[in-house]
Amino acid sequence: MLKIELKLKSSTNDPDNDAENSPESVLVNSPERKNSPEPVLVNKGNSPERALVDSPERALVDSPERALVDSPEEQLFPLVRIVLVETSHPGNIGAAARAMKNMGLTRLYLVSPRLFPNDKAIWRAASAAEVVRDAVVVDSLGEALQGCQLIIGTSARERRIPWPMLAPNTCGVKVFEAARAGNEVAIVFGREAHGLKNEELQLCHYHLNIPTGKAYSSLNLAMAVQLISYEILQAKLRSDEIAEDRQSRGAQAGDASVETDNDHWDMEYATAEAVEHFFTHLESTLVQVGFHDPENPRQLLTRLRRLFNRVRMDKMEVNILRGFLTAINKLKNSN
């Protein structure tokens, strides 16, 4: 299978990537549209404070159409967030938001976007403008991943140290099952030009590939978001069909859902920040006992990250391991 890196281009020379040359931009540049200011609603980090630009369209925020984003029909996946890292073109943010809403996803996180807030993001989002307005803007990927218990990062290059890899359809199933079990899930998309950095990918439990034909392997950001969002929705629809089929055959109501390993786990999975605290503690302990030389690491910490991320530790496991490390710290200090 051909594997590609999601170098999600925003070049203005590519009509597929160019927000200015899109059908939506024709409407944006029309005489009627130029004089119509758009409201911009931004959720900065975890702060409840939002900056709202007043305009005649402001009423849309409280309209019945706007309220649909909070309805069960719109929020099919309330525990799944799409994270875009350092997006260079605001039009790509809007197009990605539109792709998300098509498939029932509404939670968008933006890590240090180059131009945001920006009217082009609203215009490109079309009827998904509220997804853009409600986007959470943060300064680092770590902030965007706070609270997440399953993290999947887009990548296609063969890494020196390979990571557990998912295909789009497998990713859709894993995301749906994790979210249905009550886990917070993040799918991370990198920069249009060069994707995610190694240290960012090491925060992920899995890496994700989107295979393409050899003739033209470049996907823009919205295309990639659309493909993965589609697979998540398909996983839900297949699960619903199985449940309905069981019910139609006389299964008990409690037996109608599709069971997964997540449904039987006795503890919640550890959050991204809890795991990061563990890795910090592990590194300092390895240095303390002389097992790790920060000046000559030799991929030790990367391989340990891969080991523990592959396991997907739960909260109790993290606490046990940190207790073990603390005992080592005390023993070393006493000597």
13 pLDDT higher than 90: no
Both tokens of residue 106?
Answer: 């509404």
Both tokens of residue 275?
Answer: 């795991």
Could you state, in order of their start, the residue ranges of all structural domains in the chain? 19-235, 266-334
Q: Residue 197 and residue 203: Cα distance in Å, rounded?
A: 10
Q: Which runs of E-coded beta strand occur in 132-288?
A: 136-138, 150-154, 165-166, 185-189, 206-208
Helices 90-102 & 221-248 angle (0-180, nearest 10)? 10
Q: What is the pLDDT of residue 72?
A: 52
216 pLDDT higher than 50: yes
Q: Residue 143 and residue 273: Cα distance in Å, rounded?
A: 9
Q: Which residue has the tokens 């393409």?
A: 212
Element (H, E) at 172: helix 168-180
Q: What is the pLDDT of residue 304?
A: 95
Q: Residue 189 and residue 155: Cα distance in Å, rounded?
A: 8
Q: How far is CA 273 from the centre of its chain?
A: 15
Both tokens of residue 60?
Answer: 């849309």
CATH architecture of 19-235: 3-Layer(aba) Sandwich (3.40)
Whether this model's pTM surpasses 0.85: no
CATH number (1.10.8.590, 2.40.110.10, 2.30.30.230, 3.30.465.10) of 266-334 reads 1.10.8.590
Q: What is the pLDDT of residue 155?
A: 85
Calculate what percentage of the chain has a pLDDT beyond 90: 60
Q: How far is CA 195 from the centre of its chain?
A: 14
Structure confidence at residue 60 as a pLDDT band (50, 70, 90): very low
pLDDT (tens digit per residue) in 176-207:
999 999 999 999 999 998 899 999 999 999 99
Q: Residue 27 and residue 63: Cα distance in Å, rounded?
A: 22
Under DSSP, the state recorded for 13 is: T
Structure confidence at residue 218 as a pLDDT band (50, 70, 90): confident
Cα–Cα nearest to 151, from 322, 320, 270: 270
pLDDT (tens digit per residue) in 95-143:
999 999 999 999 999 999 999 999 999 999 999 999 999 999 999 999 9
Both tokens of residue 91?
Answer: 């039009």
Q: Residue 269 and residue 183: Cα distance in Å, rounded?
A: 7
86 pLDDT higher than 80: yes
